[in-house]
A = this chain, B = another copy of it.
């Protein structure tokens, strides 16, 4: 065949691809419409939006079908997951009925407070927002409250609890603070009704609660605060119970240590006058991801990070131990001692066990997505 003819053939195939892609857009629109109708029917039945078993079956069937047709089962599962995420985002709102509930959100002007205010309000609850500046109205709003939710900064949460007016006996008292032990104890002292500590494991920029995690620390009267947890589950979140002390212990590693070491990394890059834009251009997907994890910190709230790190003096001790391990390991390098590094490496590999490989393959999946968009 002549070159021209081949080029013509290429053009024809491209038109066919475009037509297929257009069909794809229409098919996705059709699917989103069906999903919206399913959402409406589920609401009538009072069924939850997210049914893990149904989803698993769906993926299994399509994977099998893909295999039979000779295309990648992972491809169809990834595509379906992406499509389903959109459906959740559109349907989640109207799924919870809280008509008649009075909800008071203290600190409702903050980003996380606003997110919950919107959720409750969309569900039909009457939402009152109290800011520290209009504390005088607190007794009025609180006297008929079914839920008082604290969305105030970590540093003031205890004082706010102490200043609360007396709440109705059946009113739930709950907080959204990233530290759980102290606020929970304070709430239990202040209020004799249902108490639960919550830690939403997502940022206020989250468009929907679907598949997000909310950690719950039991305070008092599980029956009494059940409707709150049910609403959160209906919005799509998973709830995981854990003791407050255990929560704070775990968070000191993940939150405190990661935040501070990313922070120091950023400070160091600035001190060394590194050209970040150049780093980005020279980055593999994995380095790009690591830079993102550092840089994104500085687009967020300095006070929140400072408060989380300073929340407990035990954090400083743990961080001191980290610095001294860093110092020790660097010293071994300076002395040309590679063997110690290898030995430490192998010990930590054992400590992570199978998780190390799991993390490697999971992150590879993410890197593939980063590469898609490059």
Q: Is A118 an interface residue (CB 8 A)?
A: no
Q: Which of A151-199 contact B (CB under 8 A)?
A: none
Which B residues lie within 8 Å of A365 (CB)? 369, 373
**Contact call B348/A267, Cβ cutoff below 8 A:** yes
Expressed in whole angstroms, the Cα–Cα distance for A215 and B281 within the complex equals: 10
Closest B residue to A68 by beta carbon equals B25
Given contacts A38-B10, A333-B309, A348-B270, contact A23 B17 (CB under 8 A): no
**Contact call A302/B342, Cβ cutoff below 8 A:** yes
The 8 Å CB contact of A305, one of B261, B302, B345, is B345
Encode contact with B along A337-374: 1 for CB under 8 Å, 0 otherwise.
01001101111110110011111101111101111111
Q: Is A140 an interface residue (CB 8 A)?
A: no
**Contact call B283/A346, Cβ cutoff below 8 A:** no
Q: Which of A304-340 contact B (CB under 8 A)?
A: 305-306, 309-310, 316, 318-323, 325-327, 329-330, 333-334, 336, 338
**Contact call B82/A79, Cβ cutoff below 8 A:** yes
**Contact call A292/B85, Cβ cutoff below 8 A:** no
Q: Is A230 an interface residue (CB 8 A)?
A: no
Expressed in whole angstroms, the Cα–Cα distance for A285 and B7 within the complex equals: 46
Closest B residue to A338 by beta carbon equals B306
Q: Which of A255-288 contact B (CB under 8 A)?
A: 255, 257-258, 260-261, 263-272, 274-287
Which B residues lie within 8 Å of A299 (CB)? 349, 352, 356-357, 359-360
Which B residues lie within 8 Å of A345 (CB)? 263, 298, 302, 305-306
Given contacts A305-B345, A368-B85, contact A24 B22 (CB under 8 A): no
Q: Is A226 an interface residue (CB 8 A)?
A: no
Which B residues lie within 8 Å of A263 (CB)? 329, 344-345, 348
**Contact call B16/A34, Cβ cutoff below 8 A:** yes
Closest B residue to A90 by beta carbon equals B72
Q: Is A32 an interface residue (CB 8 A)?
A: yes
Closest B residue to A255 by beta carbon equals B287
Q: Is A293 an interface residue (CB 8 A)?
A: yes
Stretch in A59-67, A92-100, A126-134 with 4+ CB within 8 Å of B: A59-67
Q: Is A9 an interface residue (CB 8 A)?
A: yes
Stretch in A104-112, A142-150, A246-254 with 4+ CB within 8 Å of B: A246-254
**Contact call B21/A80, Cβ cutoff below 8 A:** yes
What are 7 inter-chain pairs, A to B, with CB distance below 8 A?
A: A16-B34, A253-B274, A264-B326, A265-B322, A323-B327, A323-B330, A366-B370
Given contacts A266-B348, A299-B357, A309-B333, contact A35 B17 (CB under 8 A): yes
Expressed in whole angstroms, the Cα–Cα distance for A69 and B16 within the complex equals: 21
Closest B residue to A370 by beta carbon equals B366
**Contact call B266/A211, Cβ cutoff below 8 A:** no
The smallest C-beta distance from A312 to any residue of chain B, in angstroms, reads: 11
Most buried by B among A205, A215, A284, A374: A284
**Contact call B75/A295, Cβ cutoff below 8 A:** no
Expressed in whole angstroms, the Cα–Cα distance for A329 and B277 within the complex equals: 26
**Contact call B250/A76, Cβ cutoff below 8 A:** no
**Contact call B293/A341, Cβ cutoff below 8 A:** no
Known interface pairs A298-B345, A302-B346, A316-B334; 20 further A-B residue pairs with C-beta atoms within 8 A, sorted by A's residue number? A6-B41, A13-B34, A25-B71, A78-B82, A79-B79, A82-B82, A211-B371, A211-B374, A212-B285, A257-B268, A261-B261, A264-B326, A267-B325, A271-B321, A289-B289, A289-B293, A293-B359, A297-B356, A298-B356, A306-B338
